[in-house]
Structure 1
Amino acid sequence: MVHQISYNTISIEVNSQGAELIQFSKGDTKYIWNVDEAFWNKTSPILFPIVGRLKNDCYNLNGKNYNMARHGFARNYDFTLLHKTKNSISFQLNDNEETFSIYPFKFKLILTYTIESYGLKIDYSVTNKSEDTMLFSIGAHPAIKIDTDFENYSILFEKDSLLNCHELENEQFSGQTKHIKLDNNRLNLNYNLFEKDAIVLKKFDSKYLTIYKHNNPLIKISFDNFPHLGIWTKTNAPFICIEPWYGYADNQNSTGELTTKEGMIHLPPNERKDFAILFEIQ
């Protein structure tokens, strides 16, 4: 079911499946792309309880093997509508028998979308309802609309002048890195940057970045509690995904042990961890 809210001149639509943002606009200007399945069938999926691909799509925990697909399962489930006001809407996903069979933790995941005067804020809240420490990763995957030639766009980083990118091979880290030198902190976009999948930054200094169209700022994206970043598109696709993450894919030499996997959050019983993304329309 699709839920819509509008406040002042900003409107959003969120699909209860995956609590996925499928539309975000101010007036006639749209910031989230319209799905074209020739390229991709998503707009802004939630990545939980893993980010990226596990080696052999499985992991081991307490001597037992579990299978889990890339980016986890939350995006495939219907979330429950918690509340809806004139400028905010919240959705919740709880563990169930099916999730417990592949991820043996009890949890509560809440996404809240709030339209602010500057744009949109998305809050993510994860609560561990298990008796044991819960291991998870979480990430966002919004696809920002591209409506002219891709090369007319750029990404300006707050602080970074050099990107240390960890390269993927078959959606796992190969152990190879490459360095992309920025032009006055600006990454000028072209499809060749994504020949080997996403640009993945395990470390970067910026707390926000701004997408430019020509020389005009389009939207500023800020991260709270997301220490990692993916940037992704497909050749000729009319979008650029800005993906703040806490966690990332396995290495090709991964042991498969979840307790030693890089980028996992270890959340004690009955505790909560919060994350947020801000989209500021320029």
Structure 2
Amino acid sequence: MNIILSNKLCSASINTKGAELNSFKNSQTNTEYIWSGNPDFWGKHSPVLFPIVGALKDDCYFYEGKKYNLSRHGFARDFEFEVIKSSSNAASFLLKQNPEIRAKYPFDFELQMDYKLVDNSLILSYIIRNKSNVQMPFSIGAHPAFALTNSFEDYSLEFEKEENLVTHELENNLFSGETRPVNLDKTNLPLTYSLFEKDALVFKTIQSKKITILENQKPLLRVNFDDFSSLGIWTVQNAPFICIEPWIGFADDSTSNGNLFDKTNIQILKENSSFEASFSIEIL
């Protein structure tokens, strides 16, 4: 089921499966900014990444001596969320622990996704609650794919600050230990498919908290992500989209020991406490 939000400037559609954003439009021009989800390239739009971002070594982890299988980017995108609040311009979605999830992730949690239109922006908020009396490890991430209607090389990304960017190379979805520089023209990164020959660009640390998509040097869309420490940028060869992915957490190293609590940049949520982070997509 899709929940539709709208105001005078923009509209959004969110699917209750995965609480996934599948449309964000300029109401005045009817321009669609979210990727269509064509499965010939990638059949998603903007999945929610929880309770991990990226892949675990051997797609598993160990907790209290037991092995748990957990596929890349976690399970949130695969489950129906309950709509707990809805109005013309805002909606809240909730995923709770259940027996199927418990087999993958034995922590009592709630994941709430809030969507709100404010003027020409869509604000996406993640609220994670640890409902148990033990500490809970987690990561959280966004994966919005933005539609590009012109030639891919007509687009570039404008970073908020001048950066000395280093991407951490992935091999079979895990960090290999290799890195390479990603050079900006001051704050501008021209998009070419060759950037993504070895999978996503992964910046474990980044100073910029705003990324603007430029179309022929004209600002099109901006992603604001003050609450997120890491960033992924990704596309598929010859696909007409670009993903700008604010993350808190990232994939395993190839040398990972399988203990989720030892995972680099894992968040540890104290018992009976909560965590919140937000980012926004702004039409320019």
TM tier, smaller: over 0.9
Distance (Å, rounded) in 1 between the aligned partners of 2:257 and 2:19: 32
1:137 is aligned, of 129, 139, 151, to: 139
- Tell me which residue corresponds to 1:2: 2
Distance (Å, rounded) in 2 between the aligned partners of 1:105 and 1:211: 38
Give 3-state SS (helix, strand or coil) of 1:110's partner: strand
Say which is worse superposed, 38-47 or 152-161, in terms of deviation.
152-161
Q: CA deviation at 1:160?
A: 3.3
Give 3-state SS (helix, strand or coil) of 1:56's partner: helix
Which consecutive unaligned segments of at least 5 residues does structure 2 have? none
**What's the TM-score, normalizing by structure 1?**
0.98
Distance (Å, rounded) in 1 between the aligned partners of 2:201 and 2:213: 16
1:146 is aligned, of 145, 148, 152, to: 148
How many residues of Structure 1 are paired with residues of Structure 2 in the alignment?
282
Equivalent residues of 1:44, 1:143 under 8 A apart: yes
1:69-89 per-residue CA deviation (whole Å, 9 max, x = no partner) reads 000000000000011112101
Distance (Å, rounded) in 2 between the aligned partners of 1:77 and 1:160: 39
Task: Find out whether 1:180 has 2:146 as its counterpart.
Answer: no
Map residues 86-165 of structure 1 onto 2, 5 A cutoff: 86-165=88-167
Distance (Å, rounded) in 1 between the aligned partners of 2:67 and 2:162: 40
- Tell me which residue corresponds to 2:277: 275
Equivalent residues of 2:46, 2:145 under 8 A apart: yes
Equivalent residues of 1:160, 1:204 under 8 A apart: no
1:1-20 per-residue CA deviation (whole Å, 9 max, x = no partner) reads 11112111311111000000
- The runs of at least 4 consecutive aligned structure 1 residues that moved more than 6 Å come to none
Equivalent residues of 2:110, 2:128 under 8 A apart: yes
Distance (Å, rounded) in 1 between the aligned partners of 2:71 and 2:255: 18
Distance (Å, rounded) in 2 between the aligned partners of 1:5 and 1:257: 41
- Tell me which residue corresponds to 1:170: 172
1:195-223 per-residue CA deviation (whole Å, 9 max, x = no partner) reads 00000000110111111001100111111
Amino acid at match of 1:24: F
Give 3-state SS (helix, strand or coil) of 1:197's partner: coil
- Tell me which residue corresponds to 2:17: 17
Q: CA deviation at 1:102?
A: 1.2
**What's the TM-score, normalizing by structure 2?**
0.98
Give 3-state SS (helix, strand or coil) of 2:225's partner: strand
Distance (Å, rounded) in 2 between the aligned partners of 1:95 and 1:106: 6
How big is the alpha-carbon RMSD for the aligned residues of Structure 1 and Structure 2? 0.8
Equivalent residues of 1:161, 1:183 under 8 A apart: no
Which consecutive unaligned segments of at least 5 residues does structure 1 have? none
Amino acid at match of 1:277: F
